[in-house]
A and B are shown apart, each in its own frame.
Chain A
Amino acid sequence: MTGGWELPIASNSDVVMVRQRVRSVAVEVGLSLIDQTKVVTAASELARNALVYGGGGLARIEIVENGARRGLKLTFSDEGPGIPDIEQALTDGWTTGTGLGLGLSGSRRLVDEFDLVSAPGKGTTVTVTKWAR
């Protein structure tokens, strides 16, 4: 790991901040334009989830290395109510809010590695990684 950034997620403008920072780091890591857009969109979804469903939280952006490959690792954590049924939450079209229900499941498809840790009452932490090709 080389360097890292931590950004709070407390309002809609923070989501925009996270998105902008992720984009600039993605450029630095050397992601292609399509992959940049994908990881930025995933960051946008997950940050908004932390805000809307978790009542705000923290975003962590890290540059990771795996041999010759460089990548972007993002961690979104909140201390909200948590997800009771992760399987269901990752189903396309499932939402407890008013959205499209594609944010979480779509984000999983947008990135290379996706890890979700959550339990009712314990908050939610989503870690995603996108590798440069």
Chain B
Amino acid sequence: MTVDADVARRRIEELLRENETQILHRWTLIAKASSEELSDIYRALLTSLEHGGDLADMRGLLAELSRSRARQGFTPADTARAVFGLKEALYEAVESDGGPEALRGFIWFSRLIDDLGLFTFETYTTARERIILDQAEQLLELSTPVVKLWEGIVAVPLVGTLDSARTQVVMEKLLQTLVDTGAEHAVIDITGVPAVDTQVAQHLLKAVVAARLMGAECVISGIRPQIAHTIVTLGIEFGDIVTKASLADALAHALRRSGIEVIAPKATRLAVRTENV
């Protein structure tokens, strides 16, 4: 026995329309969601089915539902399950109808609802990914401060992995700070960078050259023994760029270069005299 797909579809639409109150009631119970939200979605579903299956409105509402439920602390699986609940709610109506059109149509409807349920899941993950991306960007901004060490001396303490995107941010910030403060010395500290490979080295070299072009002298500090070993073995040459083991050394170097002398204060002498009375 074959049933025309269109006839089956129409039968389901009829069932949905005829039993609206009953199905909605069942769905609300299964989905444990507010009946207003669900009836909005239900209406949208009916309208889009009437207009030949354009589900744009429907998707909009579902995205809204997915977001609002995520805020209420529901998992995406809960939301998808709520949407799938409509199948169960409709099934009662299909069962009491019992006709082959309704059964055939139910298969089609079931697939449609599956798609919509998965769509809510996708909306959830997209929203999540957006948040993660935003946070990654914020972290990028956060993790690259340019600090002033002295009048005319700025430092960039780098921590973590140095990829192209971060180097870009660091370089922009450093160059801007050089303009803003008129500093003539910049220290790039790589104590917090776990490994210096050729890419990191290249990024560093570019930053130094850019700073030089702006008239600032650049020192790279925080070169630990294992990093020095690795750089030498790799064959990277830092040329005439000044490098120092620690930030303190780099600061001392920059101070010397700008003609500032740091003199330890003279030790204060204390004379204690005791007298016998």
By a CB distance below 8 angstroms, the chain B residues around A59 are none
Bound complex: CA of A23 vs CA of B161, how far in Å? 14
Are A38 and B229 also in contact (CB < 8 A) when A92-B235, A99-B202, A100-B202 are? yes
Instruction: Give a binary string over A56-76; 1 marks a CB under 8 Å from any B CB, 0 the rest.
Output: 000000000000000000000
By a CB distance below 8 angstroms, the chain A residues around B201 are 100
By a CB distance below 8 angstroms, the chain B residues around A16 are 161, 163
Query: Is the beta-carbon distance between A103 and B226 smaller than 8 angstroms?
Result: no
Closest beta carbon of chain A to B200's beta carbon, Å = 8
Interface presence of A127 (CB below 8 A): no
Interface band, chain B: 20 to 34
- The number of A-B residue pairs with CB atoms under 8 Å apart is 66
Closest beta carbon of chain B to A23's beta carbon, Å = 7
Are A100 and B236 also in contact (CB < 8 A) when A12-B163, A23-B194, A34-B226 are? yes
Bound complex: CA of A38 vs CA of B201, how far in Å? 14
Query: Is the beta-carbon distance between B199 and A41 smaller than 8 angstroms?
Result: no
Query: Is the beta-carbon distance between A37 and B236 smaller than 8 angstroms?
Result: no
A19, A23, A106 — most chain B CB neighbours (10 Å) = A106
Instruction: Give a binary string over A88-124; 1 marks a CB under 8 Å from any B CB, 0 the rest.
Output: 0000100000011011011101100000000000000
Interface presence of B21 (CB below 8 A): no
Query: Is the beta-carbon distance between B163 and A19 smaller than 8 angstroms?
Result: no
Query: Is the beta-carbon distance between B230 and A105 smaller than 8 angstroms?
Result: no
Query: Is the beta-carbon distance between B233 and A44 smaller than 8 angstroms?
Result: no
Query: Is the beta-carbon distance between B197 and A45 smaller than 8 angstroms?
Result: yes
By a CB distance below 8 angstroms, the chain A residues around B164 are 12
Which partner residue on chain A sits nearest B200 by CB separation?
A: A44
Closest beta carbon of chain A to B140's beta carbon, Å = 13
Closest beta carbon of chain A to B201's beta carbon, Å = 7
Interface presence of A126 (CB below 8 A): no
By a CB distance below 8 angstroms, the chain B residues around A105 are 235
Bound complex: CA of A19 vs CA of B197, how far in Å? 11
Which partner residue on chain B sits nearest A109 by CB separation?
A: B233
By a CB distance below 8 angstroms, the chain A residues around B226 are 33-34, 36-38
Interface presence of B234 (CB below 8 A): yes
A16, A41, A105, A106 — most chain B CB neighbours (10 Å) = A41
Closest beta carbon of chain A to B191's beta carbon, Å = 14
Enumerate the 4 nearest inter-chain pairs by beta-carbon distance, A residue then B residue, closest first.
A106-B234, A37-B226, A44-B197, A34-B226
